[in-house]
């Protein structure tokens, strides 16, 4: 699992360095210029589910669009169980079609003083209104030791 995390970190870094940013401006159906913002800050509100236990989760994320297809970023998430649980990750985003956003993120889960590596896989659909967005999302964290944590909710974003 640790080797997979390292490989994904290197891949994410290589993609972020190796891809040349392209102009995200295009034309919509009416022929007017449409603008997509490269930077996006999001507030996440949702829940986590592991086994039979569910908890409230909140977090923040940042994304940078490298091109129309790829983006990179970072996220931090908080969940309260018996102890505080913090989850950190460095996602690689893929935007295959319009508002669809896929994510692959190596990361770390910190519960109390215990750290475990994880890989987050996720999907979201961004509904955009000008600079603002609302995105229902569903993620699964594959945590070291074979644990699986479902993370789901809404992200409220602002593009700039």
Position 12 in a domain: yes
- Which of the four pLDDT bands, split at 50, 70 and 90, describes residue 93? very high
pLDDT tens digits, residue range 16-58?
Answer: 554 444 455 555 455 544 447 899 999 999 999 998 889 999 9
- Which of the four pLDDT bands, split at 50, 70 and 90, describes residue 160? very high
Position 25 in a domain: no
Distance (Å, whole) CA 124 – CA 97 = 11
Position 29 in a domain: no
Position 24 in a domain: no
Instruction: Give the position of tokens 């190596």.
Output: 106
Position 111 in a domain: yes
Position 28 in a domain: no
Please state whether the predicted TM-score (pTM) of the whole model is above 0.85.
Answer: no
Query: For position 80, what pLDDT does the model report?
Result: 87
Position 30 in a domain: no
Range of the domain at 141: 2-19+40-159
What is the DSSP code string of 76-94? EEEEESSSEEEEEE--EEE
> What is the count of structural domains for the chain?
1
CATH number of the domain within which 127 lies: 2.40.160.20
Position 32 in a domain: no
Between the CA of residue 38 and those of 65, 69, 114, what are the distances in Å? 5, 12, 35
- 16-19 long-range contacts (CB < 8 A, ≥24 apart) are 16/66, 16/72, 19/66, 19/67, 19/70
């Amino acid at each position: 699992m640790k080797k997979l995390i390292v490989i994904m970190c290197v891949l994410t870094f290589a993609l972020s360095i190796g891809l040349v940013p392209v102009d995200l401006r295009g034309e919509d159906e009416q022929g007017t210029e449409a603008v997509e913002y490269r930077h996006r800050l999001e507030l996440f509100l949702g829940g986590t589910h592991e086994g039979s236990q569910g908890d409230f989760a909140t977090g923040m994320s940042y994304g940078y669009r490298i091109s129309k297809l790829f983006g990179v970023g970072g996220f931090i998430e908080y969940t309260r169980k018996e102890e505080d649980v913090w989850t950190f990750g460095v996602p690689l985003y893929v935007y295959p079609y319009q508002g669809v956003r896929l994510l692959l993120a190596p990361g770390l889960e910190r519960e109390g003083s215990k750290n475990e590596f994880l890989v987050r896989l996720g999907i979201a659909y961004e509904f955009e209104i000008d600079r603002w967005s609302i995105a229902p999302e569903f993620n699964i964290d594959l945590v070291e030791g074979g644990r699986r944590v479902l993370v789901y909710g809404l992200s409220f974003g602002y593009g700039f």
